[in-house]
A and B are shown apart, each in its own frame.
Chain A
Amino acid sequence: NAGVTQTPKFRVLKTGQSMTLLCAQDMNHEYMYWYRQDPGMGLRLIHYSVGEGTTAKGEVPDGYNVSRLKKQNFLLGLESAAPSQTSVYFCASSYWNTEAFFGQGTRLTVV
């Protein structure tokens, strides 16, 4: 039982490049979330999904897009990376009003 798996774990991008972060969970959770963690700040919600085929914006959605074509996967895309998107990204999943399970994080640097 892998729980929540994020790929890749590390990535360096040049400004303007694109990339996709993958989050996969094997717990049949309905809810999936993408957060970013920056120094001196709490985790902030980028986008979330309450089920297959649905996505919604969180607190800091600008510059990101998401898709949830399959229940177990939640993809976070950066179409044109900017240095301000340098951060550690965490994916999480849960059932409604239950404990959340987090991935190991993806450290992204945009130069």
Chain B
Amino acid sequence: KNEVEQSPQNLTAQEGEFITINCSYSVGISALHWLQQHPGGGIVSLFMLSSGKKKHGRLIATINIQEKHSSLHITASHPRDSAVYICAVRLALGTGGSEKLVFGKGTKLTVNP
């Protein structure tokens, strides 16, 4: 079983719709990241959060540490939001303070005009 599970794998929406992407994880983490990857492009960090909720423009990210669950919401979706959204959790690597990101497989979002 993957340490990070995302749902859905694929999501198609009409412009203007409210979008929710979910991420569940099975281990203790120090933080959770939401990332965006456009086709053929690099990866951009959207949010890093360890509790509560963060908002940036039309994007909202929430995390429930007790439930080991996070959601990414997009309000008033637009075709330019079409991308793969990736959830990643930050884990400690043994001793010494080093750490790594463990990634979900991503959710491919397509927003049609």
Contacts and interface: CB of A to CB of B under 8 A. Distances in A.
A58 B100 CA distance: 9
Interface residues of B, number: 27
B97 A96 contact: yes
Contacts of A90: 42-43
B48 A99 contact: yes
A100 B45 contact: yes
A9 to B, nearest CB: 10
Interface residues of A, number: 25
Contacts of A44: 103
Interface stretch (A12-20, A73-81, A101-109): A101-109
Interface of B: 2, 4, 30-31, 33, 35, 41-45, 48, 86, 88, 90, 93, 96-106
25 contacts: A31-B98, A33-B100, A33-B101, A35-B103, A40-B105, A41-B105, A42-B104, A42-B106, A43-B86, A43-B101, A45-B100, A45-B102, A48-B93, A48-B98, A50-B98, A56-B93, A90-B43, A92-B101, A96-B97, A96-B99, A97-B30, A98-B48, A99-B45, A100-B101, A102-B35
